[in-house]
Structure 1
Amino acid sequence: MSYPYPLVIFDLDGTLVDSAADIAEALNRTLEDWQLPRVPEATVLTWIGDGVRRLVEQAFTAAHSDIDLAKVMPGFMRHYEACLLRSPRLFDGVVPALQALQARNVPLAICTNKPVAMVGPLLAHLGVQDYFAKVLGGDSLPERKPSGEPLRHIAAAFDVAPEAALMVGDSITDYRAAVDARMPVALVRYGYPRGLDLENVEAVAVMDNLQELLDL
């Protein structure tokens, strides 16, 4: 059976992988390094999606700290790497969906704002690295999501028009990137969708499980 999209591009954190607890722990260890109070995971969820520097910036702003981020980031990156494989898990339905798309010979890619060096080890740990023909991180190009440039870059690598491909994500960052790239977008309800009205957003699908991609 053919699939209506010749390329499917996935966000990572909040779409394929539940990594919130590990990201929150890395951030809280960093706050503790600077004698600042830890914050709840639920709060960290509202900051995830715009890249690691923005994540740290929001946390230190919320703590009313004016410490130079350039001094903070090396320590955060050490904690981020140390916590990367602490407890991540794939969301329900991810592997069956990837298997089914692969069986239909649909090329799959990842477009994340996570530093690209952290993506490969995470995918390998979860056993899904072989599903993806291309991976782009938040530091792979001069621009990252919500710019549409990373999505256009991936589409061009597969010789697919952005308008023909599908972006699958969970956040307003993913949505804005897809709109900027003029790429159709499908969204999941279970991720970190702060700032996104999933009931009224223009998307080809809003899903509770990635296996719903197969019904498009």
Structure 2
Amino acid sequence: MSYPYPLVVFDLDGTLVDSAADIAEALNRTLQDWQLPRVPEATVLTWIGDGVRRLVEQAFDAAGSAVDLDKVMPGFMRHYEACLLRSPRLFDGVTDTLAALRERAVTLAICTNKPSALVAPLLQHFGLQDQFALVLGGDSLPERKPSGAPLRHIAAHFEVAVEAALMVGDSITDYRAAVDAGMPVALVRYGYPRGLDLNNVAAVAVMDDLRELLAL
């Protein structure tokens, strides 16, 4: 059975991988380095999605710190790398869904705002490194999500019209990127969907389980 989208582009954190606890720990270690109080994981969840610098910026703003971010980021990146494989897990149905789409000759790609150097080790940890024909991190191109530029770049790379491809994500950042690119979007409910009303959104599908993608 053929699939309606020849190219499916996935977000990573919050869509394929639950990495919130590890990101929160890296951020909290960074806050402690600057004698600032740790924050709950639930709070960190509301800051994930716009890239690491924006994540750290929001945390330090919330702590009332005016320290220069350029001085903070190297330490954060060390913690981020150290915590990367601490306790990440794949969301339910991810492995099955990727395999089923590959069986239907669908090209799979990743478009994440995670630094590209940290994407490969994470995919390798789960044995998923061979599933994706292209992986873009938050620093792979001059622009990142919510710009639609990365999605347009991926579609052009595979010579697929943007409107014929599908973006799968969990956050308002993913949604805005898809809208900006003119790419249909499917959203998951289980991720980190801050600022996004999933009951009133123009999406191809809003899913509780990634396997629902296979029924499109």
Q: Provide the TM-score with structure 2 as the length reference.
A: 1.00
2:163 matched to which residue of 1?
163
2:33 matched to which residue of 1?
33
SS of aligned partner of 1:130: coil
Give matches, 1:38-77, under 5 Å.
38-77=38-77
1:113 matched to which residue of 2?
113
Structure 1: gaps spanning 5 or more residues: none
Aligned counterparts of 1:214 and 1:74: Cα–Cα separation in 2: 41
* Root-mean-square deviation over aligned CA pairs: 0.3
- 1:127 deviates by 1.2
Q: Deviations over 1:38-77 (max 9, x none)?
A: 0000000000000000000000000000000000000000
SS of aligned partner of 1:129: coil
Give matches, 1:100-179, under 5 Å.
100-179=100-179
- 1:129 deviates by 1.1
Superposed structure 1 runs of 4+ greater than 3 Å apart: none
Q: Deviations over 1:79-136 (max 9, x none)?
A: 0000000000000000000010000010000000000000000000011111100000
**What is the percentage of aligned positions where both structures have the same residue?**
85
1:199 and 2:199 matched: yes
- 1:199 deviates by 0.4
2:180 matched to which residue of 1?
180
Structure 2: gaps spanning 5 or more residues: none
Counterpart amino acid of residue 159 in structure 2:
D
The aligned length equals: 216
Counterpart amino acid of residue 150 in structure 1:
P
1:6 and 2:6 matched: yes
SS of aligned partner of 2:39: coil
Aligned counterparts of 2:45 and 2:129: Cα–Cα separation in 1: 25
Aligned counterparts of 1:8 and 1:138: Cα–Cα separation in 2: 18
SS of aligned partner of 1:109: strand
SS of aligned partner of 1:131: coil
SS of aligned partner of 2:130: helix
Q: Deviations over 1:133-179 (max 9, x none)?
A: 00000000000000000000000010001111000000000000000
